[in-house]
Structure 1
């Protein structure tokens, strides 16, 4: 059994004042397997709402959580927020958590399982495998996700079922050792292409739940991001940029 001391949880935040307390409540109540500690890093990407003030108020109410709030002076994008949070992480492993409620932090323990057993040093949480709940929403989004994952697999020679998943768990030295460039939603294909080239990579996938949001509920990703993802798959896969 591999021993882990701390898991760093990196949360990019942009205009999530209405719901950020809900994800923080879930993280506060979360018990990680084997007593693993949590380092929670929130990166406010120059939100135009009260996200920063809401997080500070929450941190003041729950000082034992040790929340770390980092701020961008100008809006740079989700990828840039992740770059900042990953760079500042100090835990043994790093996981990405969106500020919305589409993913369930209780399932961190599912992703940690192959790590603790010594099988994996990177784990992706797949929304499209296993018997976990999956909200039925947009047909063309599901087709788009499948096509992007298929195209990514062609270039990386991996057999992932969900390249675009938010839940990606990395050993800290692996993710901090990657030179990441994409500042917006191109983060997912770029990090997948680059991690696939890491020597001695032990990549696993586990099934996770997915409680997707509609655009009315705050979903931000759109068709333009799909075209950017294709560009990134080719750039970082074929050209190895």
Structure 2
């Protein structure tokens, strides 16, 4: 079994080296690391070219900032492994959780696995209350339309059998990616599992980018990809 780790990054100069180090230290033996730089302007690109390229399997560079969705499309097109997992470059999610993430797929029980920050059983940094409320509301709205019972639709930790994710064209550019992917795998009748993961949420001072406008966009995307597309 080969695991492909897709890392979209944009202006993550403070964390990108540590993320790569953490992925390389994960408990999976055969790991392919694919990084997509979405036109970073803070020096991330320089570090990728000078230091990180020799340490990973592929680094792709966008010629302009296209958003996370476009970065994931680029990354998934380069995947050669049996399973693909998304790893954000901000250190909020721990690669030590890869084993629990991919086990339902290895067992032949799942096509897609969501890593839930709210299932319990793993360390979880306490940060913003209203982010939690927003996440739970968006998950509830998504569940009502997909008729599946996720606890964390907005999680960035999603693992896919590679043939599944290659068949999905991501249309959203920013944080609408998560409800879009959820709606599409639901419509494909994929076998979806959810497992508890650890989570170290960043503060805005530490570089967190998501805001209330992204929450409104997520509501729009939930309605769009479940009722229209």
Return the TM-score normalized by structure 1.
0.92
What residue is the counterpart of 2:13 in the other structure?
17
Deviations 1:187-226 (A, max 9, x none): 0000000000114x21100000010000000000000000
Structure 2: give runs of 5+ residues left out of the alignment. none
What residue is the counterpart of 2:39 in the other structure?
46
**Does 2:26 match 1:30?**
yes
Following TM superposition, the consecutive aligned residue runs of length 4 or more in structure 1 with deviations greater than 3 angstroms are none
What are the equivalent positions in structure 2 for 1:69-218 lying under 5 Å apart? 69-199=59-189, 201-218=190-207
Deviation of 1:67 (Å) = 3.0
Structure-2 separation of matches of 1:72 and 1:195: 27
Return the TM-score normalized by structure 2.
0.97
Question: Does the 8 A contact of 1:8 with 1:90 survive in 2?
Answer: yes
SS of residue paired to 1:43: strand
Deviation of 1:39 (Å) = 1.0
Structure-2 separation of matches of 1:87 and 1:234: 27
Structure-1 separation of matches of 2:220 and 2:103: 33
SS of residue paired to 1:196: helix
Deviation of 1:31 (Å) = 2.7
Deviation of 1:58 (Å) = 2.6
Structure-2 separation of matches of 1:66 and 1:51: 15
Structure-1 separation of matches of 2:24 and 2:200: 20
Question: Does the 8 A contact of 1:59 with 1:67 survive in 2?
Answer: no
What residue is the counterpart of 1:236 in the other structure?
225
Deviation of 1:16 (Å) = 0.6
SS of residue paired to 1:220: coil
RMSD in angstroms over aligned alpha carbons? 1.1
Deviation of 1:179 (Å) = 2.6
Deviation of 1:57 (Å) = 2.6
SS of residue paired to 2:187: coil
Question: Does the 8 A contact of 1:101 with 1:211 survive in 2?
Answer: yes
Deviation of 1:19 (Å) = 1.3
Structure-1 separation of matches of 2:56 and 2:220: 39
Structure 1: give runs of 5+ residues left out of the alignment. none
Structure-1 separation of matches of 2:188 and 2:209: 31
**Does 2:45 match 1:55?**
no
